[in-house]
Amino acid sequence: MPVPTGRPYEEGPGGDAAGPDSGERDGGVRDVKSAARTLELLELLAARKNRPARLRELSEALGMPRSSCYALLRTLTKYDWVRTDASGTLYGIGIRALLAGTSYLDTDPYVRIAKSALDTLGEHLDETFHLGRLSGGDVVYLVTRESSQYLRPRSRIGRRLPAYSAALGKALLAELDGAELKEQLPSELAPLTEHTITDHAALERDLMEIRACGYAVDREENTPGVRCFALPLRYSAPATDAISCSVPLARFTPARETDIVTALRRARDSIEHAAASIGFGI
């Protein structure tokens, strides 16, 4: 997941920072400076996953004065958005972030529809299935239905991957072109495995193939030993959600690919049909 870049902050009157968040965004509405800093800090802590951070690391990563960063951390810790160790020197994401994320999943109607379809797919094919959503150049896992053949199941919900490295993400990138596509891609495509596509021209050729055949394939591009297939869900335009199936190469065959893609297409049609009846836009 891309770490927030954090641009330098300068102390303004009353200790407020005047930086990129002091400008105007869409519609000429100014960002609330303290809110923007809070979100950047939470996103940075979330990006570190299980690696707690010290005050110095956080203030330097965000270009924020250490005193301002400390005050913000103390406030967020008080309300359980940030947690700290017994010494009070290491910080990580807090339980309130989990509660907010759970609420997002619980109230999203597309998640409920897709989960039912993925459960049916899992019962039929006993592979691992996912629902993912495009977010700022990444694909975020919203639903995972693990195969019973997977020996060490682990939840992927909330996990982010660069869209260019995953079948879910590539299925959604293929729905874009021109400036829209460029906006979702970093200037450098960092490799997650030795098979990750790291050349923009090669990625564009791959996206053209996806548009032609109607589904995306991840050939060990984010997980060694695993092939993944994905289709976009077109209940919004452009599509922001996709479903996928992951298969270990140890039991992959061309016939299995045909079975999986056929099943994914049936599930996609079922999900899109159900979504059309709820009239809920992302």
Instruction: Please answer whether residues 65 and 37 qualify as being in contact, where contact means their C-beta atoms are separated by less than 8 angstroms.
Output: no
Instruction: Give mean pLDDT, residues 71-80.
Output: 91
More confident position, 96 or 7? 96
pLDDT higher than 80, residue 5: no
Q: How do residues 166-211 score in pLDDT, each as one tens digit? A: 999 999 999 998 899 999 999 999 999 999 999 999 999 999 999 9
The rounded distance, in Å, linking the Cα atoms of 275 and 131 is 14
Q: How do residues 17-43 score in pLDDT, each as one tens digit? A: 444 444 455 555 566 788 888 888 988
pLDDT higher than 80, residue 50: no
Q: Please report the DSSP string for the chain in residue order.
A: -PPP-----EE-GGG-EESGGGSB-GGGPBPPHHHHHHHHHHHHHHHTTT--EEHHHHHHHHT--HHHHHHHHHHHHHTTSEEE-TTS-EEEE-HHHHHHHHHHHHH-HHHHHHHHHHHHHHHHH-SEEEEEEEETTEEEEEEEE--TT-SS----TT-EEEGGGSHHHHHHHTT--HHHHHHTS-SS---SSTTS---HHHHHHHHHHHHHHSSEEEESSSSTTEEEEEEEE-SSSS--EEEEEEEEGGG--HHHHHHHHHHHHHHHHHHHHHHHTT----
The SS3 assignment for 4 reads coil
Q: How do residues 110-167 score in pLDDT, each as one tens digit? A: 999 999 999 999 999 999 999 999 998 999 999 999 888 865 545 577 888 999 999 9
Burial of residue 233 (number of CB atoms within 10 Å: 0-12, 13-18, 19+): buried
Q: What percent of the chain stands above pLDDT 70?
A: 85
Antiparallel, parallel or unpaired: β 216-219 and 226-233: antiparallel
pLDDT higher than 50, residue 10: no
Q: What is the DSSP letter of 165?
A: G
CA distances from 35 to 15, 30, 41, 75, 142 (A): 14, 11, 10, 12, 25
Position 143: which residue type? Answer: V
E strands present in 3-59: 10-11, 17-18, 53-54
